[in-house]
Amino acid sequence: MTRNTVLLIEDNEKIMAGNKWMFERRGFEVTTALTLGEAVASMDRKKPDAIVLDIMLPDGNGLDFLKRLRETNHSGVPVLILTGLSAKEDILLGLKSGGDDYLTKPYDFDELLARVEALIRRAARVPEVIEKGRLSLDVTAGAASIGGRDILLTQKEFALLLIFAQNEGRHFSGGLLYEKVWKQPMSGDSQAIRKTVSNLRVKLEGSGWNIEWSRGEGWCFVKK
């Protein structure tokens, strides 16, 4: 049976050793990095199934590493940020920078393990390519095409379309979509989500799909 691999990026050697031992006891293959440089080298050797990332590291900020990661062919690797920074603005920044989950120190290892396992399960359920008739979503590349023609989506447009494509026929409120895509509460300003949906509607012309609005229910991805 193939073991899941987790990359631990942490400069506190005591925390690193403890987490490594615990993950290995639970059947994981573990690779470690004390610096961002070591993390990049590790990623070049083997793509992990998940990353546990500290923010404050000797050679840079973990969030900068995370932003760069999301622009590479490793963009789909789930990342849990594990840090002592617990302020609300730090958590929001971590999620907006591309983190899939956020856990603050001190922490319970069983919770850390459960969160990492959940991220791996979630990532495994997302196919690399989603086909919806003439519409195709390349999840790894973050791109969509209609009949083979790239429709040139922005990052936010693709994230929104992916949610819709994975939930055909389900209604979403503007607030929920905003939280999923922008990783923060909408705070009453619905203009960004409305504009993004409007742009998507135009770019989906010819795909056979549309995003419809129902009062009291929200937005829904449906066949024309």
Q: pLDDT at position 181, please?
A: 86
For residue 60, is pLDDT > 60?
yes
Q: Would you list the domain boundaries of the chain?
A: 5-124, 129-223
**Angstrom distance (rounded) from CA 177 to CA 193:** 8
For domain 129-223, give the CATH number. 1.10.10.10
Q: pLDDT at position 124, please?
A: 76
Overall average pLDDT of the 209-221 stretch: 91
Mean pLDDT rounded to a whole number for the chain: 90
> Angle between the 191-203 and 155-166 helix axes, to the nearest 10 degrees?
80
For residue 1, is pLDDT > 60?
no
Domain 5-124 homologous superfamily, CATH: Response regulator (3.40.50.2300)
Q: pLDDT at position 149, please?
A: 94
| 65-87 confidence digits (pLDDT tens) | 998 887 775 667 999 999 999 99
